Chain A
Amino acid sequence: MSVFVDIEKTLGSFHLKVRFEAGNETLALLGASGSGKSMTLKCIAGIEKPDRGRIVVDDVVLFDSEKHINLPPQQRHTGLMFQNYALFPNMTVLQNIRAGASREPDKRKREAAVTAIMDSFGLTPLAGHLPSQLSGGQQQRTALARILVSNPRILLLDEPFSALDNHLRFRLEQEVRRIIGEFGKTVLLVSHDRDEVFRLSDSIAIVDDGKIDAFGTKAEVFANPHTRKGAMLTGCKNISHLEMLEAGKAWATDWDMELEIPGLTPETGAVGIRMHDIRPGPGRNGFRCRVVEEIENPFSYTIMLQSVSSAAGSCPIGWEMEKAVWNRLRAPEIGVCLPPESLLLLKE
């Protein structure tokens, strides 16, 4: 176990209460803004002080409210990267990276580490540049180099790509994935972007309103996000409230559809289905549907469907498929099914 976090903190009406552990892997905290994910990182870095709890990284206790341990941020060796990268604007790239190496007392070793990391990050030609003269990608690379040269025990990345243009994002994401791989220790990634999270992380914790709704490997969490918020965060766009009928059956009130749902429990309050999990043709949970709207995406169609038997004004379901598929199926009315095994059972 390389990181263990169990903390509580109250800020006004907001209450943060999270508990998780992670090994030498990338754990993503997936949540909306204001969910408490950034606050969690700040508590680990020692910028915010939890009201209660315990934080351990690599067997070093950073915080323990019972034992009155609260290491200052300087002694925690956590590599915290903010979404704006927080490069010191009055210092050049070289000076910024030197500032990161300040813990090393031996000047020769320090300079060697700085030179080595600048070389491997391709920053040597930019040594004399100020952060304001760098592109977004170069800024991110400088920030990562500055953090890694400080020999952190854990990397804390707070929305690392949100300050970048879309086309840069993908390329830098690959770069970060490579860096994370070489780092080999725990990385905590805070993000609200499910695609980014899925590509970069091994495990995911869904954070909502100060608590963790779902936790597991990324496959587990995407297959079973547990809550309505979790389903939304993992990109499920079709969610309906449920009312229980007889065993194994429930009424999706928003869609006005009666569904056969295996594994229903009294806690299940909603159901979700991903847009690409809907299947054409008859089958279990089959419905005859009207095409309410046809939305063209760059490489796919999103078809908004309403069951012909459902009440007027009920919420349509989105079905996404490749253009060629819809070009073949296109009709004003179509039969589809919501395969029971694809349904997400959610708590409200």
Chain B
Amino acid sequence: MDWFPLYNSIRIAAISTVIIFFLGIFAAYYIAKTPRLVKGVLDVILTLPLVLPPTVVGYLLLRVLGPKRVIGAWFLRAFDLKLTMTWWSAIFATTVVIFPLMYRTARGAFESFDETLAYSAQSLGLSNTYIFWRIRMPYCRQGILAGTVLAFARALGEYGATSMICGYTPGRTATISTTVYQLWRTNDDAAAFRWVLVNLTISFVVLLAVNMLEKRSRKGGA
């Protein structure tokens, strides 16, 4: 069995999760401070990928990143770089799709933060950076951890936008989800089933890990 789709799926999901971890958290942190109207508008725009069909996300991405479109064409001209149909093109798709998951869970976590902790820390002379990383983030770690794992799991299973932006090339752009579809389409039921089992195992392990992490952090005293 060729394990490339597993390796590819995991690296795509891992990279996009790292990107979204920071992007989602900073968006959540700064947008929570904006005036209500701005917050409302940004909230809708940033949550949109959650409710849009992944094919629509894929279509929109191709509209900007495709070799004949604005950004895609510019990269092709300037760097001789094609933004679509490579393994890392899928990162664009997964990043957009999982962003709302991270953003929303992080915002929920930040909203539950007790601001008096930050105020006390400030008057004790602690810097805002220290407060963010050493007080706010640990306080919100459960929500942020849940969001991160959820985003990773979702990225791992992304199919629609991914298949549109990087297609299916065995050994190059194939991911678990596109492989399952391809194998099923070509009537290779046994192989498709093997990949389904792989996918189930990963999801199981991920969810188990979340539960164990949550238990441990509870034992440590929240």
Q: Hey, which bits of chain A sit against chain B, CB under 8 A? A: 42, 45-47, 72-82, 84, 86, 88-90, 99-100, 102-103, 130, 132-133, 146-147, 150
Q: B123 at the A/B interface (Cβ < 8 Å)?
A: yes
Q: Given A86-B117, A130-B221, A133-B221 in contact, is the A46-B125 Cβ separation under 8 Å?
A: no
Return 19 A-B CB contacts under 8 Å, by A number.
Answer: A42-B119, A46-B123, A72-B122, A73-B119, A74-B123, A74-B125, A74-B126, A82-B119, A86-B116, A90-B135, A90-B139, A99-B124, A102-B126, A103-B125, A130-B220, A132-B222, A146-B124, A150-B124, A150-B125
Q: Given A47-B119, A80-B119 in contact, is the A102-B124 Cβ separation under 8 Å?
A: yes
Would you call B222 and A74 a contact (CB within 8 A)? no
Q: B138 at the A/B interface (Cβ < 8 Å)?
A: yes
Chain A residue nearest to B137 (CB atoms) is: A90
- Chain A residues lying within 8 Å of B127, measured Cβ to Cβ, are 74
1/0 per residue B92-126: CB within 8 Å of A?
00000000000000000000001011011111111
**Which residues between 184 and 222 of chain B lie within 8 Å of chain A, taking CB atoms?**
220-222
Most buried by B among A45, A88, A150: A88
Chain B residue nearest to A103 (CB atoms) is: B125
**Interchain CA distance A102-B222 in the complex, whole Å:** 24
The residue that A102 contacts in the complex, of B125, B135, B138, with Cβ under 8 A, is B125
- Chain B residues lying within 8 Å of A47, measured Cβ to Cβ, are 119, 122-123
Chain B residue nearest to A132 (CB atoms) is: B221
Most buried by A among B116, B120, B121, B130: B120
**Interchain CA distance A45-B126 in the complex, whole Å:** 14
The residue that A76 contacts in the complex, of B117, B123, B138, with Cβ under 8 A, is B123
Would you call B126 and A99 a contact (CB within 8 A)? yes
CB distance from B126 to the nearest CB of A (A): 6
Chain B residue nearest to A156 (CB atoms) is: B123
The residue that B121 contacts in the complex, of A99, A103, A133, with Cβ under 8 A, is A99
The residue that A100 contacts in the complex, of B117, B124, B130, B139, with Cβ under 8 A, is B124
- Chain B residues lying within 8 Å of A130, measured Cβ to Cβ, are 220-221
Would you call A88 and B121 a contact (CB within 8 A)? yes
- Chain A residues lying within 8 Å of B116, measured Cβ to Cβ, are 82, 84, 86
Q: Given A84-B116, A89-B139 in contact, is the A73-B222 Cβ separation under 8 Å?
A: no
1/0 per residue B34-58: CB within 8 Å of A?
0000000000000000000000000
- Chain A residues lying within 8 Å of B124, measured Cβ to Cβ, are 99-100, 102-103, 146-147, 150
**Interchain CA distance A300-B124 in the complex, whole Å:** 46
CB distance from B109 to the nearest CB of A (A): 14
Count of chain B residues with a beta carbon within 8 Å of a chain A beta carbon: 20
- Chain A residues lying within 8 Å of B134, measured Cβ to Cβ, are 88
CB distance from B213 to the nearest CB of A (A): 15
- Chain B residues lying within 8 Å of A147, measured Cβ to Cβ, are 124
**Interchain CA distance A281-B218 in the complex, whole Å:** 67
The residue that A74 contacts in the complex, of B122, B139, B221, with Cβ under 8 A, is B122
1/0 per residue B129-151: CB within 8 Å of A?
01000110011000000000000
Would you call A80 and B221 a contact (CB within 8 A)? no
Most buried by B among A74, A78, A103, A132: A74
Apart from the given pairs A45-B122, A84-B114, A103-B124, 13 other A-B contacts in the complex at a CB distance below 8 Å: A42-B119, A45-B119, A46-B123, A47-B122, A77-B125, A84-B116, A86-B117, A86-B119, A88-B135, A89-B117, A89-B139, A133-B221, A150-B124
Per CB-CB distance, the 9 closest pairs between chain A and chain B, nearest first, are A73-B122, A86-B120, A90-B138, A103-B125, A86-B116, A130-B221, A80-B123, A82-B116, A47-B119
**Interchain CA distance A132-B217 in the complex, whole Å:** 13
Would you call B221 and A86 a contact (CB within 8 A)? no
Would you call A45 and B125 a contact (CB within 8 A)? no
- Chain B residues lying within 8 Å of A73, measured Cβ to Cβ, are 119, 122-123
CB distance from B143 to the nearest CB of A (A): 14
CB distance from B157 to the nearest CB of A (A): 33
**Interchain CA distance A130-B117 in the complex, whole Å:** 15
- Chain B residues lying within 8 Å of A76, measured Cβ to Cβ, are 123
- Chain B residues lying within 8 Å of A84, measured Cβ to Cβ, are 114, 116
**Interchain CA distance A317-B120 in the complex, whole Å:** 45
Would you call A78 and B123 a contact (CB within 8 A)? yes
- Chain B residues lying within 8 Å of A81, measured Cβ to Cβ, are 120
**Interchain CA distance A103-B138 in the complex, whole Å:** 22
Would you call A46 and B122 a contact (CB within 8 A)? yes
- Chain A residues lying within 8 Å of B125, measured Cβ to Cβ, are 74-75, 77, 102-103, 150
**Interchain CA distance A81-B123 in the complex, whole Å:** 10
Chain A residue nearest to B119 (CB atoms) is: A47
**Interchain CA distance A64-B127 in the complex, whole Å:** 23
CB distance from B36 to the nearest CB of A (A): 14
**Interchain CA distance A42-B222 in the complex, whole Å:** 27
**Interchain CA distance A76-B220 in the complex, whole Å:** 34
- Chain A residues lying within 8 Å of B138, measured Cβ to Cβ, are 90
Chain B residue nearest to A151 (CB atoms) is: B125
- Chain B residues lying within 8 Å of A82, measured Cβ to Cβ, are 116, 119-120
